[in-house]
Structures are given as C-alpha cells and as structure tokens.
Amino acid sequence: MKFSIGKSGREEKLINGCKRNEPGAQREMYRLWAPKMLAICFRYIKDRSEAESVMTGGFLKIFDKINQFSGEGSFEGWMRRIMVNESLSYLRQQKHAFMMVDEEEAGREISYEEADQQLQADDLMAMIRLLPDGYRTVFNLYAIEGFSHKEIAEKLEISESTSKSQLSRARNLLQQYIAKHDKIKQHQVI
C-alpha cells in the first residue's frame, strides 16, 4: 500500500503548472517558497548574496527536475533536499570549508546545563551563522536536517570522525557564544 500525503489544491496546481513549464506557475512557486528556501541556504552559506545565488540555482534545478517529483511525500521536503545539496555543492567548490581535526576531539561531549533557556531562535541562528563553514555545515546537517555522521561523511566526502569532530567543535563554540550572550544579558539586567 502506498502512502501519499495530501497536497493542497493550490500546491498541486502549481506543481502541475511547473511540470508544463508555465512561467506564471514557476513565478508563483518561487514567490511562495523563496523565503523558506533562502533560510535553508543561509544556514549553510554566510554571505547573503551567495546564499541567494545558490537558492536561485536550486530553484532552476527544481524547475528542471520537477518531473522527477512523484507526488508522494512532501513537496517541501523534496525542495529542501535540493537546496541543501546545492548549498553543499557550493561549499565543496569553495574548498576551504572543512578542516582536518584531531580524532580525539570527536568523542568529547559537552554540557548544556548552563545554556540560557530564554535564548531566542533568532539569536541562536545568528550564532550558528558565526560558526566557521565546516562546523556550521556539519552542525546544520546533523542537528537540523537529522543526518547521521555516516551520511554526512558521504555527502561531504570526509571521514565520520571528522564529521564528529566538526560537530563537537561547533557545539563547543556555540556553548561559548551562549555563555557570552548570557553574560551580556546579565549586565543589561543590572
């Protein structure tokens, strides 16, 4: 038995219009989904104009490959996967995104007890954007997209231990950023 997630009539109409290469449908799909897809690209790519460029390339790929979307599952999920892959492709082309790190770092765990419970989502996203490219990419793939270290290693052509190290270092830096944020908040209250 096949399981299919019901799509709104509007979404289905747009998908079908894009499959027929209708410019109006493509424009409307871009208008509706661009903010969300840009946010995905921006999680991986610090520079906004570069993230916008990657997103635009992602939409071109979506329009080119839309006939491959079977209609089963989430269309948004399908588009997200394309945007993540486009972002990773961009980072691979930059070649400076990943640093080799000590394998011993990979096993080290950190404590989150001191994290500010009132930290706003926008503050956290800003902190994630401050991470070096390699750290930010692995953190996004693991913590936000839900990939395993094995999957990340395959996608980024790095070892699993490097993926683990990148995640560990990203978490450590985020913990430092949060501690600084907390300190600033405490001084503002006084």
Q: Give CA–CA dist 105/103, Å, rounded.
A: 5
**Residue 1: predicted pLDDT:** 34
Our measurement of the distance from residue 114's CA atom to the centroid of its chain's CA atoms, rounded to an integer in Å, reads: 26
**Residue 80: predicted pLDDT:** 94
Sign of CA dihedral 40, 98, 100, 124: negative
* pLDDT (tens digit per residue) in 54-103: 999 999 999 999 999 988 889 999 999 999 999 999 988 886 545 444 44
* pLDDT (tens digit per residue) in 103-146: 444 444 444 444 444 457 777 888 888 898 889 999 999 998 89
Are 152 and 140 a contacting pair, CB within 8 Å?
no
* pLDDT (tens digit per residue) in 22-55: 999 999 999 999 999 999 999 999 889 999 999 9
Question: Rg for the chain (alpha carbons), in Å?
Answer: 19
Stretch 10-23: mean pLDDT: 92
Q: Which residue has the tokens 């683990």?
A: 164
The mean pLDDT of the chain is 82
Are 106 and 164 a contacting pair, CB within 8 Å?
yes
Number of other CB atoms surrounding residue 188 within 10 Å: 7
Helix axes 75-94, 23-44, angle to 10 degrees: 50
Instruction: Please state the pTM of the whole predicted model.
Output: 0.70
- Token digits for 60? 């071109």
* Residues in CB range of 128: below 8 A, 6 or more apart: 43, 136, 139, 140, 174
